[in-house]
A and B are shown apart, each in its own frame.
Chain A
Amino acid sequence: MALYKSILVAKADLKMAMKVKMVRYGLIGIGALGPITMLVTVALMVYGDPVIGVLILPSISAILAPMLGMIAIIPASMIAANALVGEKEMNTLEPLLSTPLTDRELLIGKLLSSFIPSMALLLGSILVSEIGTFIILRSVGAEFILVPGIPGLFLLLTAGPTLIVAIVSIMILISGRVKRVYEAYQTSGAVVMVFILPMMIPTMTMGAGTVDMNSVWMWNIITFLITLVIAASTWALAVRKFNRDTMISM
Chain B
Amino acid sequence: MVIKLDEVVISGLTKKFDDLTAVDHIEFNVAKGSIYGLLGPNGAGKSTTIRLLCTLLRPDEGTATVSGFDIIESPVQVREITGVLPEEGNHTLYQTLSGYDNLEYFARLYDVPEDEIPGRIEELLTFMDLWERKDDPAGELSTGNRQRLALCRALLHKPKVLLLDEPTAALDPVAAKRVRKLILSFSEKYGQTFFINSHNLSEVQRMCDKIAIIDEGKILLSGDTQELRTRFKTSQDFRIRVVDDLEKAGSIAESLDFVTSLKKEADTIVVTIEDPFTNNSMLMQSLLSQGIKIVEFAEEEATLEDLYLDVIKEGGAK
The segment from A117-125, A130-138, A214-222, A242-250 that touches chain B is A242-250
**Which of under 10, 10 to 19, 20 to 34, or 35 or more describes the interface residues of B?**
20 to 34
How many pairs of A and B residues are in contact by the CB < 8 Å rule?
A: 71
Known contacts A100-B76, A100-B80; A244 and B57 CB within 8 A of each other: yes
The segment from A8-16, A148-156, A191-199, A205-213 that touches chain B is A8-16
Interface flag for A139 (CB, 8 Å): no
Taking a contact as CB atoms under 8 Å apart, the answer to whether A95 and B96 are in contact is no
Report B-chain residues with C-beta under 8 Å of the C-beta of A100: 76-77, 79-80, 109-111
Interface flag for B97 (CB, 8 Å): yes
Cβ < 8 Å to A, chain B residues 92-114:
92-97, 101, 105-106, 108-111
A-B pairs, 3 with minimum CB distance: A99-B109, A19-B96, A98-B84
A179 vs B4: C-alpha distance in the bound complex, in angstroms? 45
- CB nearest to B106 among chain A residues: A99
Report B-chain residues with C-beta under 8 Å of the C-beta of A96: 109
**Which of under 10, 10 to 19, 20 to 34, or 35 or more describes the interface residues of A?**
20 to 34
Interface flag for A97 (CB, 8 Å): yes
- Shortest CB distance A93–B (Å): 9
Report B-chain residues with C-beta under 8 Å of the C-beta of A92: 92-94
Taking a contact as CB atoms under 8 Å apart, the answer to whether B56 and A245 are in contact is yes
Taking a contact as CB atoms under 8 Å apart, the answer to whether A16 and B92 are in contact is no
Taking a contact as CB atoms under 8 Å apart, the answer to whether B54 and A98 are in contact is yes
- CB nearest to B91 among chain A residues: A91
Taking a contact as CB atoms under 8 Å apart, the answer to whether A15 and B97 are in contact is yes
Taking a contact as CB atoms under 8 Å apart, the answer to whether A248 and B57 are in contact is yes
A99 vs B54: C-alpha distance in the bound complex, in angstroms? 9
Interface flag for A102 (CB, 8 Å): yes
Report A-chain residues with C-beta under 8 Å of the C-beta of B92: 91-92, 94-95
A5 vs B105: C-alpha distance in the bound complex, in angstroms? 10
Known contacts A94-B56, A95-B84, A244-B55; A101 and B94 CB within 8 A of each other: no
Interface flag for A90 (CB, 8 Å): yes
Known contacts A15-B97, A100-B80, A100-B111; A95 and B55 CB within 8 A of each other: no
Question: B17, B54, B94, B110: which contacts A16 (Cβ < 8 A)?
Answer: B94
Question: B54, B58, B84, B101: which contacts A245 (Cβ < 8 A)?
Answer: B58
26 A-B residue pairs with Cβ-Cβ distance under 8 Å, sorted by A, are A8-B108, A12-B94, A15-B97, A16-B96, A19-B96, A20-B96, A90-B94, A92-B94, A94-B56, A94-B86, A94-B92, A95-B86, A95-B92, A95-B106, A95-B153, A96-B109, A97-B56, A98-B54, A98-B82, A98-B84, A100-B76, A100-B80, A101-B109, A244-B55, A244-B56, A248-B57
